Structure 1
Amino acid sequence: MATIKDVAKEAGVSVATVSRVINKSPKASQSSIDSVSAAMKKLGYRPNAAARALVSQSTNTIGVVVSDVSDPFFGTLIKSVDQVAREAGKHILIGNGYHNADDERHALELLINSRCEAIILHAKGLSDEELINYAKEVKGLVIINRFIPQIESRCISLDNERGAYLATLHLIKSGHRNIACIASSQDIEDTHQRIKGYRTALEDHGILLSKNYIEAGAPSSDGGELAMTNLLSKSLDITAVVTYNDYMAAGAIQALENNAISVPKDISVIGFDDGLIARFVHPHLTTVRYPIAMMAERAARLALLLSRGEAIEDDPIVFTPTLVQRKSVFAR
């Protein structure tokens, strides 16, 4: 792997000049910028966080990357991080990643270059390998809602499979056997884990259903409404539906209402997350609670410990979802 010295030798400049170019110093001449940039590209050199952003110098700033700050789920995450930051006398900077590798990388690089001493990262687009490399560079980096074995002590995750299993099991115990699944169309681990939990619960109770009982859509109310409409179009015998999140559940309820199907008497619906919307849809939504506030607080405290070089536990931190019963499930 190329070093900063290799880049300096290739570009025919000093190490100090390479450092000035990396850190975008106004003292770096255009010719130096051109020669150093060409050398880095040729050697495949990627400056580490210390060289690129002087991360070791405290800025009293905590960085947060989420999918979309306008989503209330991520608003809850950010609020918890901000509370920890305020306790520590720090402020936060926020970036949106939109579950896209390029956007996540850009947001993370901006936070690193802003010299954030601790970063809480929610990333679904970046590969495990790239996240592992970032973790090597940024000592205060913690990844939330994702588990990577090689850096497991810096991951805060949820047992998504368990959550979907609980939701499906609750419907089975309520007398349902013809249970459909409305999944997210996003190709991320949350989607696959929740479908697996749904299928495992059915298998454990001897229920065999065709793939037609699973319909995917965008993880929004519109996506849920469309997925439910597609399920109804298949003329399946459905008495209950497990959904990817509360928004999709709300959309599914709307589709059922549009088709004069009563919830929960005709078809029961169960969500996932226990966001604010779960308390305001009608009927009030039975759902799986995603303890994102607790997870975000834990992530922020862990990131600060890491940024100070303090010892942490080596075990992964995996939170367990719980069932919240309201009015959208009918016992048959």
Structure 2
Amino acid sequence: MATIKDVAKAAGVSVATVSRVVNKSPKASKSAIAAVNAAMKTLAYRPNANARALVNQSTNTIGVMVSDVSDPFFGALIKAVDNVARSHNKHLLIGNGYHDAKVEREAIELLINNRCDSLVIHSKGLSDQELIQFAKEVPGLVLINRHIPEIAERCIALDNQQGAYNATQHLLTKGHQHIGYINSYQDIDDAHHRQAGYLQALTEQDLSLNLDYIVAGQPTDEGGEVAMTELLARKLPITAVVCYNDYVAAGALAALEKQHIAVPNDISLMGFDNGLIAKYLHPKLTTMHYPIQTMAEQAAELSLALAKGNNSAIHGKVFEAILVERLSVAKRV
């Protein structure tokens, strides 16, 4: 494999000149550029990315950390960031955090050590203070789906409480008063805020808050099926259920079908996220649209602007989930 010294010898220039050409320095002459490029082509020389990063003090990458790349929700997030990255001639370096503080910390440090000066971070495990410290270290760090007041201008978040409130309110307007809630068992702000929104909507209608109507499980279709089965076993007069996300709703739907309970005629079902699965369930799922693509695009643009020192171009933002009516909710007669 050819080295930079081989290129310099073949081009008849110094190693420093080759380095200037590789890093597109304006100090390189036209004749040197032509000679070095010809030598690199002849020798099939590829500049070392890490070496170039040392000269430029950055890489041509945007770092992204999500919980789990296998989750379609995070796949949509990554795809949106990648679209922005490509429009700026950059590539992605991706890490998984799994909502675990230790793993998230290691993933972020790895991205920083790989000289990603733009970072889009989805963190649920790390404390506010630790993320604030990371933000001080990396000017181009932006948080997505997390709002920290001290660095609010670098947060692209969703109002999860308002979203769950609106979901529950929609069922209330349809005449439902005995409304169950299937939450995620995860100790993260999304789960806490969505349950708070559900309870807020009931409280405003002066409905009694019976915690037997709430069950928590894994935020997956399997978890939703187990949770719905548990909820039905409590023999409550439930006419509608709000679910933590669409996959939980899919599992809940499966549990109801197994017990020959019709949706929405017997029990109405409400999802959250408006993922791809929502419109392919039967019946099609009424849900709250989580604008993750738009949020991820804005987070990526903000990260790139901040990395360039442009602190006034874009600001943080809190988005709202929007009701998407389909066929899984019916009016209570």
TM-score (norm 2): 0.82
* Structure 1 residue 95 corresponds to structure 2 residue 95: yes
State whether residues 59 and 116 of structure 1, in contact with CA within 8 Å, keep that contact through their aligned partners in structure 2. Answer: yes
The residue correspondences of 1:227-246 to structure 2 (distance < 5 A) are 227-246=227-246
* Cα 1:79–1:112 shift into 2, 3 Å: same
Match of 2:177 in 1: 177
Question: Gaps (5+ residues) in structure 1?
Answer: 1-52
Once the 2 structures are TM-superposed, how far is the Cα of residue 227 of structure 1 from its aligned partner? 0.7
* Cα 1:315–1:81 shift into 2, 3 Å: closer
Cα deviation 1:259-311 (Å, max 9, x = unaligned): 11111100000000000010111100000000000000000000001100012
How big is the alpha-carbon RMSD for the aligned residues of Structure 1 and Structure 2? Answer: 1.4
Report sequence identity in percent: 60
User: CA–CA distance in 2 between the matches of 1:291 and 1:106?
Assistant: 28
User: CA–CA distance in 2 between the matches of 1:258 and 1:132?
Assistant: 48
User: CA–CA distance in 2 between the matches of 1:95 and 1:316?
Assistant: 23
Match of 2:116 in 1: 116
Secondary structure of 1:190 counterpart: helix
User: CA–CA distance in 1 between the matches of 2:58 and 2:268?
Assistant: 52
State whether residues 55 and 116 of structure 1, in contact with CA within 8 Å, keep that contact through their aligned partners in structure 2. Answer: no
Runs of 4+ more than 2 Å apart:
53-56, 311-316
State whether residues 55 and 115 of structure 1, in contact with CA within 8 Å, keep that contact through their aligned partners in structure 2. Answer: no
State whether residues 178 and 239 of structure 2, in contact with CA within 8 Å, keep that contact through their aligned partners in structure 1. Answer: yes
User: CA–CA distance in 2 between the matches of 1:141 and 1:304?
Assistant: 9
Match of 2:130 in 1: 130
User: CA–CA distance in 1 between the matches of 2:255 and 2:54?
Assistant: 53
The residue correspondences of 1:288-327 to structure 2 (distance < 5 A) are 288-312=288-312, 316-327=316-327
User: CA–CA distance in 2 between the matches of 1:271 and 1:54?
Assistant: 48
* Cα 1:213–1:58 shift into 2, 3 Å: same
State whether residues 122 and 144 of structure 1, in contact with CA within 8 Å, keep that contact through their aligned partners in structure 2. Answer: yes
Which residue identity lines up with residue 62 of structure 1 in the other structure? I
Match of 1:39 in 2: none
- Greater radius of gyration (CA): 2
Secondary structure of 1:119 counterpart: strand
State whether residues 55 and 112 of structure 1, in contact with CA within 8 Å, keep that contact through their aligned partners in structure 2. Answer: no
State whether residues 148 and 155 of structure 1, in contact with CA within 8 Å, keep that contact through their aligned partners in structure 2. Answer: yes
Match of 2:65 in 1: 65
Once the 2 structures are TM-superposed, how far is the Cα of residue 225 of structure 1 from its aligned partner? 0.6
User: CA–CA distance in 2 between the matches of 1:318 and 1:60?
Assistant: 29
Match of 2:202 in 1: 202
Which residue identity lines up with residue 326 of structure 2 in the other structure? R
TM-score (norm 1): 0.82
Match of 2:258 in 1: 258
User: CA–CA distance in 2 between the matches of 1:55 and 1:75?
Assistant: 33
Question: Gaps (5+ residues) in structure 2?
Answer: 1-52
